Amino acid sequence: MITAAIAALHERGEFALPEAGLPLVEIERPQQAQHGDYATTIALKLARPPQSRAIAAQIAAYLNETAPLVPAYDLVEAVTTAGPGFINVRLKPEWLLRQARALIEAGPDVGAVDVGRGSSINLEFVSANPTGPVHIGNGRGGFIGDTLGNVLRAAGYAVTKEYYFNDAGAQIQKLGGSIEYYMRLALGQPATKPLGADGKEEGYFDSEGDPDDTFYQGVARLVLAETNQGAEVLDLPVDARTAVIGKRAAQHIIQNIRATMQRLNIQFDVWFNEASLVTTGEVLAGIETLRDGGYLFPQDGATWMETTRFGDDKDRVLIKSDGERTYAASDVAYIRNKLNRGFDRLIYVLGADHHGYVGRLKAMAQMFGYTADKAHVLIYQHVNLKVDGKSERMSKRRGNVITLDDLADLVGPDVMRFFYLMRSADTHLDFDLGLAMKQGEENPGLSVQYGHARVAGVLRKAVEAGFHPESEALSADLAVLTNDPPEQLAAELALIRELLKLEEIIERIALSLEPHHLTKYGMDVAAAFHVFYDRCPMLRAESAEVRNARFALTLAARTVLARVLTLLGMAAPDRMERATDTSE
């Protein structure tokens, strides 16, 4: 619309365009609602102040003249200018209010956009090794990945959510050694913890003396139960023994991780096993492809891949001088597998400690003939648990590692998710345990759900009072609300404007890969509804027309809140149980 106006004015010869052509007309939302619904700085890009002021005025005048004549522009109330050359567009209140109906009719798909145009994304996240329970750090990747995937789907992408289990290699041998120790302990046999090359204990162990931390003992019991109390495995030669026990233990731990993910509603479409890459020969095939491409070279008896050719900080070993393949060899096979599945884009959600990975993943994508942006890595920062106002850094050495299941036991999966998703992935997450455990108004994790429950409560009440909000809302003309007193109309307009932002939010998250905007938006919607609810009586509205129009706004709010909660992977409850406050 603005572009058309500029073109028309240009034809009239009222002002000249730069030789490079018209700069991109960017439309944004002003930070303050009083400035209008949309704004553009195009005049400032066409000329410097004070001349830009005149241009802005010309464009605005032209639009004000034209808008009433063009049917498609009938949503425009007024175009104004301000400051050094901003052009503000204000939409008609009745047009805005009437959009509530479209929101209601969109139902569970409300807010869907199509920036993805069906392009396919492989979204890999969590991928914690099957050598122990998932901890609170892994959870961040889980929630970010799951919600990001939901939003990308709403934005028109075909998303495959994937978990990669590193169930091959030396760590599984180590796991086997650890479980063997616990098996022998359980059988009353002499047992010693396995030692590494440096003579120190090496493997995965429960914390000494902690009766709640018996994860590996539990796994050992499961392996005993399925191997005739260990008789089938404990007498094998040492290497075969640790391999078999490790493999069995990993299977149990994988089941444990999958159960945790399910409990937290972190959904995956594909559970990928590293071991499968070995058995299908894809590891060898991947290495051969790189060799054919001329990316491999020998040095010191090992085989290296020249990732520095594509910007990695150093070359990586694929085959060690002792003939063993490194983890990077599996990575090569895995990325090759993903690329062969035809994804348009690969997104990896990784913890900050993996940022050294970015260069090598992008290099590998290029060695297989794609551009560096084929592989995109989303890095999230570490998670601290904050107890009684003090940050406790998690680390195994400090003995205060807490598992995701432990945290879910304390605060519940939904509150947990909300807290994890409130912060940008770029910043360290301090999980405030005290705040999360509160069941009252001060817990932000419940605020959006409460908003939804309150909407549902009002509608329930309306039905009890003999109204039929669902059908009455659809016949309502929301334009009657423009006759409301200013304070009420302001609340109604603020609500509908907030609800209409959903599409922008989904688009923004899809393009920026920043799901934390969704929690903020949910709180904003809930707050806008509360103000509306506070100021605008519904059951006791002054007329049936006004009542029905407000039903429509309420239903639109419910639709949007339910959508936000679903995208967040949270329940959209119709009632909140007033649970006892567990923090006291």
Partner RNA sequence: GUGCUCGUAGCUCAGUGGAUUAGAGCGUUGGCCUGCGGAGCCAAAGGUCGGAGGUUCGAAUCCUCUCGAGCACACCA
Give, in order, the Cα–Cα distances in Å from 392 to each of 142, 211, 395, 444.
Answer: 21, 21, 9, 21
With binding defined as CB under 7 A, does residue 258 bind RNA? no
Q: Does 488 bind RNA (CB under 7 A)?
A: no
33 binds RNA (CB under 7 A): no
430 lies in the binding site for RNA (CB under 7 A): yes
Q: Which of residues 539-558 bind RNA (CB under 7 A)?
A: 539-540
- Residue in 426, 463, 511, 582 binding RNA, rule: CB under 7 A: 426
Q: How far apart are alpha carbons 43 and 60 in whole angstroms?
A: 10
3-class SS of residue 155? coil
Return the residues of window 513-532 that contact RNA according to CB under 7 A. 514, 516-517, 520, 523, 527, 530-531
CB atoms within 10 A of CB 90: 17
| Contact region with RNA (CB under 7 A), list: 39-47, 242-250, 281-289, 396-404 | 39-47
Which residues contact residue 264 at a Cβ distance below 8 angstroms, ignoring those fewer than 6 apart? 139, 142, 143, 404, 408, 413, 416, 417
Which residues neighbour 58 within 8 Å (Cβ) at sequence distance 6 or greater? Answer: 9, 14, 15
According to the binding rule CB under 7 A, does residue 321 interact with RNA?
yes
Sites for RNA among residues 497-516 (CB under 7 A): 508, 514, 516
C-alpha atoms less than 13 angstroms from C-alpha of 401 in its C-beta half-sphere: 17
- Indicate the residue among 108 and 537 with the shorter CB distance to RNA: 537
Residue from 9, 54, 576, 583 binding RNA (CB under 7 A): 576
Q: Where are the beta strands (DSSP E) in 73-204?
A: 76-82, 86-91, 120-124, 158-165
- DSSP reduced 3-state for 554: helix
Helix or strand holding residue 27 (H, E) = strand 27-28
Number of residues that bind RNA (CB under 7 A): 96
Rule CB under 7 A: say whether 382 interacts with RNA.
yes
Distances (CA, A) of 218 to 258, 339, 379: 17, 38, 33
Instruction: Note whether 283 binds RNA by CB under 7 A.
Output: no
Q: Which of 194, 203, 444, 515 binds RNA (CB under 7 A)?
A: 444
Give the nearer residue to RNA in terms of CB position, either 470 or 514: 514
Tokens 């991780």, residue?
Answer: 257
| Binder of RNA out of 100, 144, 533, 558 (CB under 7 A) | 533
CB 555 within 8 A of CB 142: no
Structural tokens at position 290: 């790189």
Nearer to RNA, 184 or 291 (CB): 291
291 binds RNA (CB under 7 A): no
> With CB under 7 A as the contact rule, which of the stretches 141-149, 212-220, 364-372, 424-432 interacts with RNA?
424-432
Determine which residue in the list 82, 285, 410, 437 makes contact with RNA, applying CB under 7 A. 82
Comparing CB distances to RNA, the nearer of 142 and 230 is 142
CB-nearer residue toward RNA: 224 or 244: 244
61 binds RNA (CB under 7 A): no
